[in-house]
Amino acid sequence: MTENILITGASGQLGAVMTKALQEKFGVNHVIASDLRPNESFEGLFEILDVTDNEALKSIVAKYKITQIYHLAAILSAKGELFPLKTWDINMSTFFNVLEVSRQLSVKKVFYPSSIAVFGSNISRVNTPQDSNLMPSTVYGISKVAGENWANYYFEKYDLDVRSIRYPGVIGYQSLPGGGTTDYAVDIYHKAVKQEHFECFLKETTTLPMIYIEDAVRATIELMDAPAENISIRTSYNLAGMSFSPKEVADSIKKTYPNFEVSYNPDFRQNIADSWPMSIDDTKAKEDWGWKPKYDLDAMSKVMIDNLKAYYNSVIA
């Protein structure tokens, strides 16, 4: 059977790369990228879509006979703290619309991104278990815990095949993230390649779980491809890539740019980071659908630097 895929939030950091990967897998004419504003950079089908608008979502799902939705639109942790009620409203109403429209129009599969933000400072921060007691410190985290439980509810009650991953901080060269606590780990590469000083908003020793974007996209597609009977977690899977602190990523960058300088000026995002895991136990993802990351810190630094160098050279040329 032909699959037709809708991606919400396709202009975001993960969305842009996910759209390309899904176009390669399903064909350009079977993938509909969507976002709030027009985006000229997409090759293929694109729709302007505000996912808070149930009717608009419904008409796109009907128009393209959508069979799978990747719902990536959300407000992230740091920005969410500036607008708590709006963040709750947007993150929840968009997901409810996706769940309800999927149920009503017989969409077969839904992907829902959760996050390490579901964990709070009550957890054991090293190798944080799948089944931790979830007491998040941010409204983004609260919305993700609620979303995970709604995903499970729609699976149990309506047999809707919703699958989810708790992403670590995602790092890629293709686009800048917006509004997250882990965003420093992308910005730092841009500054290094531009040979500028970097001021970090976290302390140098703050270790967080991270993942290279290619691994994050591959994990998502592997999870969505796995046989339904293998999926034992219907809330959201812990997923590990690597873990590092700002100092460790700076040291990795210094192997290429020995004069790279970083200073540390922690702001409100430090408290968020301090409530999150340092590393993640992803045994269930390994057991259920064979998850294995490819990139460690130095391998990622190499791709990030090579690609950003090429990008900035082309901009200057």
Residues with catalytic annotation? 140
Q: What is the DSSP letter of 66?
A: -
CB of 115 to ligand AKB, least distance (A): 3
Nearer to ligand AKB, 161 or 183 (CB): 183
CB of 59 to ligand AKB, least distance (A): 30
Q: What is the DSSP letter of 280?
A: B
Name the site residues for ligand AKB (rule: CB under 6 A). 76-77, 115-117, 140, 167, 169, 180-182
Query: Residue 32 in contact with residue 5, Cβ under 8 Å?
Result: yes
| Residue 316: CB atoms within 10 Å | 6
Residue 111 bridge partners (DSSP): 70, 163
Backbone angles phi, psi at 178, to 5 degrees: -140, 125
Query: Residue 246 in contact with residue 184, Cβ under 8 Å?
Result: yes
CB of 50 to ligand AKB, least distance (A): 21
Nearer to ligand AKB, 209 or 260 (CB): 209
Please give the Cα distance from 269 to 181 (Å, whole number). Answer: 6
CB of 87 to ligand AKB, least distance (A): 11
CB of 117 to ligand AKB, least distance (A): 5
Please give the Cα distance from 18 to 12 (Å, whole number). Answer: 10
Token representation of residue 169:
């901080």
Nearer to ligand AKB, 6 or 241 (CB): 241
Q: How far apart are the first and last CA of the chain?
A: 46
Nearer to ligand AKB, 182 or 220 (CB): 182
Nearer to ligand AKB, 102 or 181 (CB): 181
Closest-by-Cβ residue to ligand AKB is: 180
Contacts of 61 (CB under 8 A, 6+ apart): 6, 69, 101, 102, 105, 107
